């Protein structure tokens, strides 16, 4: 019996070992690691107003003058993308989500799932081509920055991926701004204590709160932590006062469970 187990485990180990070594060769394209360029990945919604980098602005203006096809690049203004083709062009935040995903896939091509496979290698290159970024930095390479139009296929794929990530900057900002207005901060809290209250929410699609749960509930009744109860209650009042919360109109699955971290320290310390 033990012998069989050892044999079975051994064979499995060999299979795993061989698979690990051989599967990368099945990839369509060998890994060609581009020079590392530091890029800060942020989620940008269609209305998020991110200013152009000065050099990128010049390039874009030049290209516009030439009346060529539209530009799609990492630093292109999201609004422009939407204006030119509102129905089919993917949202900028989705684009960047895609970039994240692709980086992973390149290193582990055997793990690609069906959704990702719909995106062609060409499109991947277009989305995260370091040369495109380099072109924006270096004027001499501005022609390279011009890329072709996106297909609606990509949009569908990215839309699905977006659902598995957090809120976009705009969505988060809208929610924050709403709660800022509703949250009356108790002024008598001690500055030198942990003033973080974490509340988990269950939401309806219209933003109405179904359930609230204070994650550090045990702290409410701890001796010497009376201020925490006051703070937690003020946060709950803010949520109740604000509802229905300003949540995105789409992607309910993404945000039906939400955690709000109320931290009063910044306000109290001034």
Q: Which residues bind another protein (CB under 8 A)?
A: 4-5, 8-9, 12, 15-16, 111, 164, 166-167, 172, 175-176, 179-191, 200, 226-227, 230-231, 233-238, 240-241, 254-255, 257-264, 266-267
Which tokens hold the place of 247? 């949540």
DSSP state of 76: S
Residue position matching structure tokens 């008598």 = 188
Contact 59, 135 (CB under 8 A): yes
Minimal distance, residue 105 CB to another protein, in Å: 13
DSSP structure string for 5-74: HHHHHHHHHHHHHHHHHHGGGGSSS---PPPP---------TT--PPPPHHHHHHHHHHHHTT-SPP--T
Residue among 142 and 171 whose Cβ is closer to another protein? 171
Minimal distance, residue 123 CB to another protein, in Å: 22
Residue among 122 and 191 whose Cβ is closer to another protein? 191
Which tokens hold the place of 42? 């942020």
Minimal distance, residue 50 CB to another protein, in Å: 20
CA dihedral (25, 133, 102, 76) positive or negative? negative
Residue among 221 and 259 whose Cβ is closer to another protein? 259
DSSP state of 119: S
Residue among 76 and 197 whose Cβ is closer to another protein? 197
Contact 260, 198 (CB under 8 A): yes
Contact 69, 155 (CB under 8 A): no
Minimal distance, residue 45 CB to another protein, in Å: 14
Which tokens hold the place of 102? 């692709």
Residue among 4 and 38 whose Cβ is closer to another protein? 4
Residue among 133 and 258 whose Cβ is closer to another protein? 258
Minimal distance, residue 97 CB to another protein, in Å: 14
β-partners of residue 202 are: 211, 257
Minimal distance, residue 124 CB to another protein, in Å: 20
Which tokens hold the place of 20? 């690990």
Residue among 131 and 163 whose Cβ is closer to another protein? 163
Minimal distance, residue 183 CB to another protein, in Å: 3
Rama region for 15: left / alpha / beta (φ>0; ψ in -120 to 50; rest): alpha
d(CA 163, CA 148): 26
Q: At what angle do helices 226-242 and 169-182 cross, to 10 degrees?
A: 110
Longest CA–CA separation in the chain, Å: 78
Minimal distance, residue 66 CB to another protein, in Å: 42
Residue among 63 and 169 whose Cβ is closer to another protein? 169
């Amino acid at each position: 019996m033990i012998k069989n187990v050892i044999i079975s485990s051994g064979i499995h180990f060999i299979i795993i070992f061989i698979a690990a070594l051989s599967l990368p060769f099945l990839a369509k394209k060998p890994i060609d690691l581009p020079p590392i360029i530091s890029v800060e990945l942020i989620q940008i919604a269609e209305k998020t107003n991110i200013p152009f980098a000065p050099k990128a602005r010049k390039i874009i203006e030049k290209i516009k003058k030439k009346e060529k096809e539209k530009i799609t690049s990492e630093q292109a203004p999201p609004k422009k993308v939407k204006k030119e083709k509102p129905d089919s062009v993917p949202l900028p935040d989705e684009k960047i989500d895609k970039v994240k995903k692709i980086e992973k896939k390149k290193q582990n091509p055997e793990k690609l799932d069906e959704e990702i496979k719909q995106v062609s290698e060409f499109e991947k290159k277009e989305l995260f081509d370091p040369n495109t970024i380099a072109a924006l930095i270096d004027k001499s390479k501005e022609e390279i920055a011009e890329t072709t139009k996106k297909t609606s296929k990509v949009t569908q794929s990215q839309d699905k991926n977006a659902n598995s990530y957090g809120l976009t900057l705009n969505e988060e900002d809208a929610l924050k701004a709403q709660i800022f207005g509703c949250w009356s901060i108790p002024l008598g809290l001690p500055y030198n204590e942990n003033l973080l209250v974490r509340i988990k929410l269950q939401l309806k699609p219209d933003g109405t709160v179904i359930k609230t749960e204070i994650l550090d509930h045990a702290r409410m009744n701890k001796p010497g932590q009376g201020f925490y109860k006051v703070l937690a209650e003020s946060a709950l009042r803010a949520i109740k006062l604000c509802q229905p919360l300003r949540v995105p109109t789409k992607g309910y699955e993404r945000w039906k469970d939400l955690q709000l971290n109320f931290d009063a320290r910044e306000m109290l310390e001034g």
